[in-house]
Structure formats: structure tokens, C-alpha cells
């Protein structure tokens, strides 16, 4: 009895020591995780023009609310998300007061989805469009931490608070070197708004997208929030060349460039034996375009032989078209086999509408991913089933054994019945 009590006491002491020893490291890990957490600030225009009913039969504000609710449901747990408004609170005519109308609707931090949705539900289109002041405050909201930082601005009009030019504000934010990216989305845009929002995004290496449907808005904001959670895909500015020989060599990542109408841009990727190249490209129509256009991406050898291609076409009803390709390079018996230079060519067949400027080129996003190829032993698909083949095999074996057992039991029951 005494021995049992001593063992129990010793076990409790050991458990207490382990608990105390693990508590501090766990706290340290939690603090480090919080410091490295990606941050996103959604900045929503709630000015009076958001009352307009021209998005899927409803108002622009209704479309924004629906999109925000779906985005909040899909936001990754590790993302610290906030919501800032502009033009939501002052309904008067005094410009000086209206241009101060920006507020943090939901603070940047761990997301309480119910609370954030309740805050969004209270919004009503109200006042001015102080984009510049809102961007300055949004950047302050994201201060601190070492994780990626991203502002996603959704607006249906250009800034009404000059002389504080939002483009200059974006350049000022970029000059601070804090690694903050601003992406912009224009709801039912006009030419002036498109130019302003494109300039804001370009200043920080972000993207601009025109939106005319609720689903497009939801998909794009979700994409940008997800991108913040994965620093590997933070856009990096690059400049393609007019030939493969002059092209920049890219590694895995997301790149931004500009491509003029009907132009081809070249990039290079070094691909080791046993690796697979996955490349995708998107081109945004950030100005009025003629309908019926296309996008082509090709993987070509250094000697000009086409390996594989991807194509996409548009008819003027969407602002972004995308396509991609995959190229696995077979393994080599030679351990010293050199990498293959793969030339990636991007060509478009856009044409501008009459009177539209053709420069600068259209925004281009290129994703490059070099991964282990399908020839790797760990990824080989048995009978086309990938790593799940063993599960099917186990099910087949279990079914066979169950059948044998059932048959044996049936025969035994029949034998017993005949005996009786």
C-alpha cells in the first residue's frame, strides 16, 4: 500500500514538473507565432455612391456585404484580419470634415467571425471618398510584427479629398520599406477611377482588378487574403524580355510585370531532373478593351522547340483571363546531370478600344512553382491512384477476408442445422 502511494506521488510530481517545464516554451512559441502572423486590412468604400444598384440587380453595398461575409467565413485561422471604412459616418457637405471620415470597423487581430459580420451588417452608404487618408490610417493599423502585411482597398469611385493624392500616399507607404502591399478592386469602374486604383496598386507591387459581379469580388478578396497567409506568393516585380536569351531567370514564386498589347514576354526557369515546372499566368484588362482576346503561355526549350502550352480566351465579359502549364522533367541516371533551361513565353492578343492609351502595358501576374516530379518514388501513383493505393488494397483485402469468413460461418451453420 505504502509503495503504491509513493509511486502515485512520484508520478504526480513528475507530471507537475513536465507541465511547468513545458508552459514557458509554449508561451514563447505562441508569442513568436503572433509576431509572425500575416495581417490583412480590408478597406471598404461606404460613400454615398455605393447605393447604386448595378451589381447583379442589387446595390454595390449589398454586393460588398455579401462578399465580406463569405470572405470572413473562409479566412485562414493564422491571418490577423481587420476592416476599415471610408465615408461611412459623415453625411454632410463639408469637405474638410468628410475627408476625415475613416474609421476602424473591426481591429486587426484574431478574427471573431460573428462579431466581424455583425459590424459589417451595420454599414450604410453615407458620405465622401477619402481614399488617401484611409490608406494612411490603414497602414498604421498594420504596424508591428514581422509577418506579411496587405491592404485590400474596395472602392466604386476616385478619391474626393484632393490635394492628398492617394497615389502619392501609396508611394509614401512603399518608401517606408515596411513590406506592405496594397491591392485595389474597382466596383463598376470608369476610366479615371481605374487609372487611380491601378496607380495605387502599382506603387506597392500590388494588383488592380475591375469587378462587376458579386462572385468576382468574393473570389478576388479571398485570393488576396489567402496570398497574405503564404509569403511565398508575395508578388515580386520582374521584367520579361523580348527573347529567351535575354530573359530573367526565375525561381518559385509570384511575379508581376507589364505586357503591352500583342506583345510577347520571355522568362527562364532552371529545371533539375526529376522536377516538375508548374506555371500559370493572368493578364488584367485594366482599361477599355475590344472584345474577343486571348492569352497564350508556352514552355520552350533553349533551342526553340515547344514542349507544352496553355491557352485561354475572353469575350469582353471578364477583366482577367488566366492559363497555365505543367512540364515534368524525367529523372536521370547521371547524378551530375545539369538542369534544363526552360523558356516560358507569354503572349496576348488584346487590342485597345478607340482613344484608349496603350501604355503602360497591362498588369501581368506569373506564378512559377518547381516541385518534385511524378517520377519521384514517394509520389508514384500505383494504377493511377497516387498515395491512396494502399487504402484501396486494404479495403480489397478486408473484403476478401470478410467474404471467406462469412462463407465459412454459413457452411458451419448449415452443418450444425443438418446435424440437429
Element (H, E) at 154: strand 149-155
Name residue, grid cell 508552459: 23
CATH 2.60.120.380 fits 236-378, yes or no: yes
Q: How far apart are CA 13 and CA 351, in angstroms?
A: 77
Q: Please provide the size of the chain in residues.
A: 420
Q: How far apart are CA 231 and CA 148, in angstroms?
A: 6
Second-level CATH architecture of 32-233: 3-Layer(aba) Sandwich (3.40)
**Cβ neighbours for 360, distance < 8 A, ≥ 6 positions apart:** 258, 260
Map out the domains of the chain as residue ranges: 32-233, 236-378
- The pTM (predicted TM-score) of the whole model is 0.55
| Strand bridging mode 102-109 / 80-86 | antiparallel
- Digit-by-digit pLDDT tens for the chain (420 residues) are 444 444 444 444 444 443 444 444 444 444 555 678 999 999 999 999 999 999 999 999 999 999 999 999 999 999 999 999 999 999 999 999 999 999 999 999 999 999 999 999 999 999 999 999 999 999 999 988 888 899 999 999 899 987 888 999 998 988 887 779 999 999 987 888 888 998 898 888 888 888 889 998 998 898 888 888 775 555 788 999 999 999 999 998 889 899 998 899 999 999 999 889 999 998 887 777 888 888 999 999 999 999 999 998 877 655 678 889 999 888 877 777 889 999 999 999 988 878 888 888 888 989 898 888 764 433 333 333 444 555 556 666 776 677 667 767 767 665 666 666
**219: phi > 0 → left, psi -120 to 50 → alpha, else beta; which?**
alpha
Fold match between domain 32-233 and domain 236-378: no
Amino acid at each position: 500500500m505504502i509503495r503504491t502511494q509513493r509511486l502515485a506521488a512520484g508520478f504526480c510530481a513528475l507530471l507537475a514538473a513536465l507541465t511547468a517545464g513545458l508552459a514557458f516554451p509554449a508561451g514563447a512559441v505562441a508569442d513568436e507565432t503572433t509576431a509572425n502572423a500575416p495581417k490583412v486590412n480590408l478597406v471598404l468604400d461606404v460613400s454615398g455612391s455605393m447605393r447604386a444598384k448595378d451589381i447583379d440587380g442589387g446595390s454595390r453595398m449589398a454586393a460588398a456585404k455579401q462578399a465580406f461575409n463569405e470572405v470572413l467565413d473562409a479566412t485562414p485561422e493564422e491571418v490577423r484580419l481587420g476592416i476599415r471604412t471610408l465615408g461611412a459616418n459623415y453625411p454632410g457637405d463639408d469637405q474638410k470634415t468628410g475627408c476625415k471620415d475613416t474609421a476602424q470597423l473591426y481591429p486587426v487581430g484574431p478574427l471573431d467571425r460573428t462579431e466581424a459580420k455583425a459590424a459589417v451588417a451595420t454599414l450604410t452608404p453615407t458620405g465622401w471618398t477619402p481614399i488617401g487618408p484611409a490608406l494612411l490610417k490603414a497602414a498604421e493599423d498594420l504596424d508591428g510584427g514581422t509577418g506579411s502585411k496587405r491592404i485590400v482597398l474596395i472602392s466604386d469611385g476616385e478619391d474626393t479629398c484632393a490635394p492628398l493624392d492617394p497615389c502619392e500616399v501609396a508611394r509614401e507607404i512603399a518608401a517606408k520599406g515596411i513590406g506592405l502591399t496594397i491591392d485595389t478592386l474597382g466596383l463598376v469602374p470608369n476610366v479615371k477611377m481605374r487609372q487611380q486604383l491601378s496607380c495605387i496598386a502599382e506603387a506597392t507591387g500590388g494588383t488592380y482588378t475591375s469587378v462587376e459581379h458579386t462572385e468576382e469580388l468574393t473570389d478576388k478578396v479571398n485570393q488576396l487574403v489567402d496570398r497574405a497567409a503564404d509569403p511565398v506568393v508575395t508578388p515580386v516585380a520582374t521584367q520579361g524580355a523580348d527573347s529567351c536569351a535575354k530573359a530573367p531567370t526565375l525561381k518559385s514564386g509570384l511575379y508581376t510585370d507589364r505586357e503591352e498589347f500583342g506583345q510577347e514576354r520571355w522568362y527562364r526557369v532552371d529545371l533539375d531532373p526529376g522536377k516538375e515546372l508548374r506555371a500559370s499566368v493572368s493578364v488584367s484588362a485594366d482599361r477599355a478593351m475590344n472584345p474577343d482576346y486571348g492569352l497564350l503561355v508556352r514552355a520552350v526549350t533553349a533551342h526553340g522547340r515547344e514542349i507544352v502550352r496553355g491557352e485561354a480566351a475572353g469575350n469582353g465579359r471578364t477583366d482577367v483571363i488566366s492559363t497555365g502549364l505543367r512540364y515534368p522533367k524525367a529523372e536521370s541516371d547521371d547524378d551530375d546531370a545539369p538542369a534544363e533551361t526552360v523558356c516560358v513565353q507569354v503572349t496576348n492578343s488584346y487590342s485597345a478600344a478607340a482613344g484608349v492609351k496603350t501604355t503602360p502595358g497591362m498588369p501581368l501576374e506569373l506564378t512559377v512553382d518547381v516541385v518534385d516530379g511524378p517520377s519521384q518514388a514517394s509520389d508514384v501513383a500505383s494504377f493511377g491512384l497516387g498515395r491512396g493505393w494502399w487504402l484501396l488494397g486494404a479495403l480489397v483485402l478486408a473484403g476478401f477476408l470478410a467474404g471467406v469468413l462469412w462463407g465459412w460461418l454459413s457452411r458451419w451453420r448449415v452443418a450444425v442445422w443438418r446435424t440437429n
